Amino acid sequence: MTDRDWDKELAKIDKQLASISDEALAAPAPPMPTGMPRGVAAPSRVAPAAAAAASPAAGGKARWFTYTKVALAATGAVGIWLWPWAARCGLPLAGLVGAAGVVSLLGVWSARGTWRHRLGLAHVISLLAIVSAVVLGAREVLPRVGYAEPTFDRPDRWSCQAAPPAATSPEVSPTTPGTTPPPSSSSL
């Protein structure tokens, strides 16, 4: 076919589409007849899940459930930032990092539902819950794996064992109250 033939064919298709109403275009295709010869393209069918989601009764329940998932993820994201225990080390730290992982999974779960139901604002809230949980988890994990600089609140170890004592220099020796330090060799 030449370019002109394609233009004619496309013009025919445009006219046919313009003559059909939007409702007729959105209606599911009739069931596929049995015994179709090989090589014949089967008519496209609407997936049963998509047809069920398109019905108003099922759509309302699905949207309500999706909003519930978003609320759960958002509540979890706020809750882990208000973690009530000091999470420097040990079990509270493991609980905080685990909770951040659970909240990020809740965010992914709700984001999938909001994407499927085309709920824009709810999708943004789900994504914010994911980012919030990942940031909090990274804030706690990165100093302990050596990527970020450790601080007092986020030391470089996971367990609560005491840190090894700091080595004292030989020139500075600790003194007990009421005693005088020994003379140093540098003052002579």
pLDDT at 66: 92
pLDDT at 39: 58
Residue 167 CB-half CA count within 13 A: 2
pLDDT at 132: 96
Q: At what angle do helices 120-141 and 56-81 cross, to 10 degrees?
A: 30
pLDDT at 100: 96
pLDDT digits (tens, 9 = 90+) for 154-168: 788 788 776 555 555
pLDDT digits (tens, 9 = 90+) for 39-70: 555 555 545 545 444 444 456 788 899 999 99
Range in 54-58, 85-89, 126-130, 145-149 with the lowest mean pLDDT: 54-58
Using only C-alpha atoms, the chain has a radius of gyration, in whole angstroms, of 33
The answer to whether the predicted template modeling score (pTM) of the entire model surpasses 0.85 is no
Given a cut of 70, is residue 32 above it in pLDDT? no
Q: Are 103 and 132 in contact (CB under 8 A)?
A: yes
Q: How many CB atoms lie within 10 A of CB 145?
A: 9
Q: How confident is the model at residue 186 (pLDDT cuts 50, 70, 90)?
A: low
Q: Are 144 and 157 in contact (CB under 8 A)?
A: yes
Q: Are 114 and 63 in contact (CB under 8 A)?
A: no
What is 93-140 written as a DSSP string? HHHHHHHHHHHHHHHHHHHHHHHHTT-HHHHHHHHHHHHHHHHHHHHH
Given a cut of 80, is residue 12 above it in pLDDT? yes
How many whole angstroms separate alpha carbon 188 and alpha carbon 133? Answer: 61
How many whole angstroms separate alpha carbon 109 and alpha carbon 104? Answer: 9
